[in-house]
Structure 1
Amino acid sequence: QHRAAHMQSEIELCRSVILQALSAVDDTPEQLPLIASLAKAKLNELVKLVTNEAVQMHGGIGVTDELEIGFFLKRARVAMQIYGDTGFHKNRYASLCGY
């Protein structure tokens, strides 16, 4: 239960970041690259957490073809390599903030 509750709280946090990014599209488009990198970095951390916890919660069957958890784990890792991993977006966020 603790793992599921932790994942749910992180999902809600990411939902707030996504809503901020969506409102920036209309309200402050000049801030969009900054907020997009913030959202992507946070979501990368979330997808790592959720996929790893799902494998842990389901045990060895979590990475077999019977469940799609392994598929989503691989898909998430590939997406991070294509669209930038957490480190890339943290560095981008810092450079856009002037650091």
Structure 2
Amino acid sequence: RPDRLLGDKAYSSKANREFLRTRGIQTVIPERSDQVANRKRRGRNGGRTIGLDKEAYKRRNVVERSFNTFKQWRGLATRYDKLALTYRGGVVLRAITIWLHELGDTP
């Protein structure tokens, strides 16, 4: 089970937050501006502000960039492989090429 879930404002719904809270998962999702305005408009009955770990939120796009890097290979993006084993081999091969590219001193 994950300790926390990082997400964009699109996932900032009360239902999502309650679902994760019941499972003991911390949310790192900022509030949408309309949710903030509604909470402030309701005053004391609007609830408390969400605790947002700003340092963790800054790192939210690392996973998205990693998926983008993997999907630069057409075979991984379109999932041509019939067997999961073959697809996993492609993922491992792509991970190795990314790792070697980052280790090398040439662009």
**Shorter-chain TM-score above 0.5:** no
The structure with higher relative contact order (CA 8 Å, sep 6+) is 1
Return the TM-score normalized by structure 2: 0.30
Between Structure 1 and Structure 2, the one with more strand by share is 2
Between Structure 1 and Structure 2, the one with more helix by share is 1
Return the TM-score normalized by structure 1: 0.31
